[in-house]
Amino acid sequence: MNELTSAINNHLACEFQASHTYLAMSIWLREKDLIGFSTYMETKSNEERTHASRMIAFLVDNDEKVELPSINAPDYEWDSLEALFSNVYSMEKEVTASINHIYGIAERINNRPATVMLDWFIDEQVKEESEARFICKRLKLANTNTAAMLLLDQQFFDGTFLANMQSASGFSPATAA
């Protein structure tokens, strides 16, 4: 197996682990009756599986071998909502580092189809990190104020929380596909 294929297969573990962790987070949040946050995390879980599927399709379409990874059981408890989203931000940074590693390999071996495929992931990770950072900052502002947390949960539930967020890259969740 060549170095690029190996790196992509290794990255699948990041995507599947994130998906599994987000699902555990969704369950924890639902148990706390934070339905808006829970629904958001369930959506994130599904997105991560879709990301893995994109990479799998790339490998299959290029006659490369796919190796599905084993993943670890995720944590099921967090000290707070702020701690949970801090974990989200850390995970997204790890995913970004893995994609950057794959991109570096693709550039070094001059594999243009891989860099084109990975361009989408680079853009996606800018959005993912920006979104996680924004949520962490809002939760820090809310601190332990129960009313503020419930308001944020309601905004997640009705889809307005991220509607006006803008990152330095101009990302707006309201216009993202």
Query: What integer pLDDT is reported at residue 177 of this predicted model?
Result: 40
Distance CA 175, CA 152 (A): 20
Look at 98 and 159; give whichever has higher pLDDT: 98
Tell me how far CA of residue 172 lies from CA of 39, 40, 128, 163, 168, in angstroms.
19, 16, 11, 7, 10
The domain of 34 spans 3-67+79-158
Whether residue 50 is contained in a domain is answered as yes
With respect to residue 113, please indicate whether it lies within any of the assigned structural domains: yes
Does residue 122 sit within a domain? yes
Summarize pLDDT for 55-88 with one digit per residue, the tens.
999 999 999 999 999 999 998 999 999 999 999 9
Q: Is residue 165 in some structural domain?
A: no
Number of domains in the chain: 1
What pLDDT is recorded for position 169? Answer: 45
Distance CA 169, CA 108 (A): 26
Q: Tell me if 176 is assigned to some domain.
A: no
Q: Is residue 138 part of a domain?
A: yes
Distances (CA, A) of 37 to 5, 8, 107, 153: 35, 30, 38, 6
Please provide the size of the chain in residues. 177
**Which CATH number do you get for residue 21?**
1.20.1260.10
Query: pTM score, two decimals?
Result: 0.87
Report pLDDT for 56: 98
Could you read off the pLDDT of 89-129 as tens digits, one per residue? 999 999 999 999 999 999 999 999 999 999 999 999 999 99
Residue 1 in this model has a pLDDT that exceeds 90:
no
The angle that helices 146-158 and 112-142 make with each other, rounded to 10 degrees, is 140
- The two tokens of residue 120 are 């989408």
In a domain, 128, yes or no: yes
Residue 129 domain-assigned? Answer: yes
